Amino acid sequence: MSEQQPPPASTASPSPGSEPGPGADRDAAFQKGDVIIRVRNIKKSYGDREILHGISFDVRKGETVIIMGGSGHGKSTMLRLMIGAELPDSGTIELFGKEITGLAEQEMYPLKKRFGVLFQHGALFASMTVGENIALPLREHTDLDEKIISIIVKLKLELVGLRDFEDLVPSQLSGGMRKRVGLARSIALDPEIIFYDEPGAGLDPVMLAVIDELITGLSDKLGVASIVVTHEMQSAFRIADRMLLMHGGNILAEGTPEEIRASDDPVLQQFINGKAEGPIPLRLSSRDFAEDLLGG
């Protein structure tokens, strides 16, 4: 995603405890532990390369699920399918009990208001200030008064430690700061599900811990489900309720952090311990480099 691309529609419901609004009864439908995302047998190819070979998993309300896996193994693709930004070739994805594959834009719209997304590269509007970026989903999806919007923007900025940066534009921020603004925007409307694509990339260890606490707090206090793609193993073990390892287009392993640590699967062990030696190949292409060069 480039910095110029628009953010996806985010969530537009009232904060828990606020005035009842159109989405006020939405939580009644999902209790802690209920399946809020159901992914079944998802297949996806680009050209003649099948990236996902039949992925299935569930995410429950309030759960933090970590998706790990080597570079190019389809994690971001899986996230894009889950938010309806792309269509799978086959399989089904239910969000809040509703099948989303093939939904028309106007049918998807009310669902989009209930989840937030933090993209791998922030995806902020370059021409808008930090404050305007965060206010955008509020202006798009609510009829809140500008004064209230301004207070919410300040609150969300405070949460990510950027209170004094409201009037800067993205090019005046560091990469890690942009990530934090992206996070503030993704939680602007108190979503029920948040999808994070590498939230820790570019952050220092202290900020990483702050973001971890935020994710855990949203889950514990507000029952927000989080799907987090990350390579930061320390952070992953800190926040996960469950972890999935995507490898070669399949889910190779799935379990609680304890189960994952205890597994003797060599791919899993190589991945969580960050070892160069092991069964995970460096090369993703199917053609052999030497053959390519020598015409073999």
Ligand X SMILES: Nc1ncnc2c1ncn2[C@@H]1O[C@H](COP(=O)(O)OP(=O)(O)OP(=O)(O)O)[C@@H](O)[C@H]1O
What is the binding site for ligand X (CB under 6 A)? 46, 51, 69, 71-77, 284
- Does 231 bind Mg ion (CB under 5 A)? Our answer is no
**Residue nearer to Mg ion on the CB measure, 165 or 196:** 196
- Does 216 bind Mg ion (CB under 5 A)? Our answer is no
- Does 269 bind Mg ion (CB under 5 A)? Our answer is no
- Does 202 bind Mg ion (CB under 5 A)? Our answer is no
At its nearest, how many Å lie between Mg ion and the CB of residue 149? Answer: 32
At its nearest, how many Å lie between ligand X and the CB of residue 256? Answer: 22
3-state secondary structure 75-144: HHHHHHHHCCCCCCCEEEEEECCEECCCCCHHHHHHHHCCEEEECCCCCCCCCCCHHHHHHHHHHHHCCC
Q: Which does 69 bind (CB under 5 to 8 A by kind): Mg ion, ligand X, none?
A: ligand X
At its nearest, how many Å lie between Mg ion and the CB of residue 226? Answer: 16
Q: CA–CA separation, 64 vs 71, rounded Å? A: 21
Whether 23 and 13 have beta carbons less than 8 Å apart is answered as yes
CA atoms within 13 A on the CB side of 84: 25
Quick note: the x/- pattern for Mg ion over 43-82, rule CB under 5 A, is ---------------------------------x------
Q: Which does 133 bind (CB under 5 to 8 A by kind): ligand X, Mg ion, none?
A: none
- Does 150 bind Mg ion (CB under 5 A)? Our answer is no
At its nearest, how many Å lie between ligand X and the CB of residue 42? Answer: 12
Q: CA–CA separation, 203 vs 75, rounded Å? A: 20
DSSP, res 7: P
**In the complex, which residues of this chain contact Mg ion (CB under 5 A)?**
76
